[in-house]
Amino acid sequence: MRHTWLVLFFALLLGAGAPTSTAKDAPDLQTRVDALAKHFLDAGIVVGMTIGVLQDGERHVFGYGRLGAEDETVPDGKTVYEIGSITKVFTGILLADLVRDGTVKLEQPVQELLPEDVTVPTKGEQPITLRHLATQTSGLPRMPSNFEPADPKNPYADYDATRLYAGLQAAELQSVPGTRYAYSNLGVGLLGHVLGLAAGKPYETLLRERVLDPLGMSSSAITYTEPMKARRAPGHLADGTPTSGWDLDAFAGAGALRSTVDDMLDFLAANLKGGEAPLATSLASALELHAEPAGQPVKMGLGWHFGTSPGGRWHNGETGGYHSHAGLLLENDAAIVILANTATGKVDQLAQLLYGLLLGQAVKPPTFDKPVEIDPKVLDEYLGRFALAPTFVLTVTRDGDQLMVQATGQENFPVFPLGDDKFFYKVVEAKLHFTRDDGGKVIGVVLHQGGREMPATRLD
């Protein structure tokens, strides 16, 4: 679900190295995947995870780590995880299927599907359409301004349709619909909601009937079945601390699904089969190019992001205690899925390495930062508010001996000491370097991410 300011746009395969032998020619795919997975486990990046690989019609499932500190069970293909924003791909396919039978149209204004007393914001003369919502080009903000969770550990549980309508009407569009890519949980949550209104059924029921059941995904659902509960992997924060799961109401279409690697491999295989698969027309439509905003290196299907590798499609997801990644290499008849019981975007780095294996490239695991010990009393020196922009502030607090950083409108993330006023995130590849004046007082911080340095000035 998270796709925050911290999460860099993940381009499918960012050039892992020079071509060598292809994965299918390798003597032992499992040995190579094991080596990569072990690197992430040994660094404490994830508590446990399941990896699925499809290549040339063959499927492979690998389980690693454990379900939790008190449960040494190794996750497998039947282990149930929250898949977060990968749900958006399923919402895109649901849209394609409803377009196929004439229930809705891609260019239909969202306003037409909402109650008469709900007004959709506008900018310019172009209304927000269903296509805009599915391609992240609606211009809507990432989150509504009235998102104030009663329970921060389950933040979407109390955000219902009434709040969705109020948040929508209060939203200011960041761009004219269709002209810019701007990731919006509000937009895709709204899409799932209005598709349910158009079909006269709750989103969950509609998704089950139209997509999950036809694809045989019996271990995928929004509401846990009893068998799914028995196979659920407990979630963990990036530092390995156990945490609760998330429940989504009006935002269900943006991130509410739970699934397994076995089910996700069935789903990915259906996308690779073309005309032979159930829902073939709708799956194919979602994979097609539906948005390519001018001046941006972004291409979108319905829910799917296009990768830089030919035939690449992908999406990732993160909830409070889980991270997921699923992707297709259509021209290579290959796919991967990673489901982890730990909320860290570094799982996407593992996905990048797996794509490299499938494309026959030499891959090298990243080097991970390790925290150092510092005097907890020093943490007080960093507390305060730091402005990256007039309306975008980093608020630094502490929770016991843990330093926490929260950006405007975002969740609170822990950061870990590297020494010399430097800290790093475990959720993504990003660092903070606090700056001091001649008297030694902390007066600012620099966010380092993706080769960029973004300074912030202390406000108090």
Q: Does the pLDDT value for residue 107 go beyond 60? A: yes
As given in the structure block, the two tokens for residue 179 are 């002209």
The SS3 assignment for 311 reads: coil
Q: Which CATH superfamily groups domain 23-358?
A: DD-peptidase/beta-lactamase superfamily (3.40.710.10)
Q: Which helix (H) or strand (E) holds 322?
A: strand 322-329
Do 223 and 257 meet the contact criterion of CB atoms below 8 Å apart?
no
For residue 178, pLDDT beyond 50: yes
Q: Is the pLDDT of residue 134 over 60?
A: yes
Confidence band for 450, pLDDT divided at 50, 70 and 90: confident
Alpha carbon distance 382, 419 (integer Å): 13
Q: Sketch the domain layout of the chain as residue ranges.
A: 23-358, 376-458
Is the model more confident about 5 or about 264? 264
Sheet containing 322-329, strands listed edge to edge, beginning at the edge strand earlier in sequence: 58-65, 48-55, 334-340, 322-329, 312-319, 305-306
- CA separation (Å) from 432 to 348, 449, 459? 21, 9, 17
pLDDT at position 220 = 98
| Close Cβ partners of 450 (under 8 Å, ≥ 6 residues apart) | 8, 429
Cα of first residue to Cα of last residue in the chain, in angstroms, is 32
Residue 7 has pLDDT above 90, yes or no: no
- Separation of alpha carbons 449 and 5, rounded Å: 10
Look up residue 148 and give its two tokens: 């104030």
Mean of pLDDT values over 292-305:
96
Question: What pLDDT, on a 0 to 100 scale, did the predictor assign at position 1?
Answer: 65
Residue 5 scores a pLDDT above 50: no
Sequence-ordered list of residues with C-beta below 8 angstroms from that of 116, at least 6 positions apart, any chain = none
Residue position matching structure tokens 């040339």: 56
Q: Give residue-wise pLDDT tens across range 340-395.
A: 999 999 999 999 999 999 999 989 988 888 889 999 999 999 999 999 988 889 99
Question: Residue 437: what pLDDT?
Answer: 95
Find all residues with CB under 8 Å of 29, minimum gap 6, and list them.
23, 53, 55, 60, 357
What is residue 2's predicted lDDT score, i.e. its pLDDT?
Answer: 53
194-246 confidence digits (pLDDT tens): 999 999 999 999 999 999 999 999 999 999 999 999 999 999 999 899 999 99
Q: What confidence tens digit (pLDDT) does each residue in 52-96 have?
A: 999 988 999 999 999 998 899 999 999 999 999 999 999 999 999
Q: What are phi and psi of 89, to 5 degrees?
A: -65, -40
Asked if residue 11 has pLDDT above 60, the reply is: no
* Lookup: tokens for 309: 């590798």
Architecture of the domain whose range is 376-458: Beta Barrel (2.40)
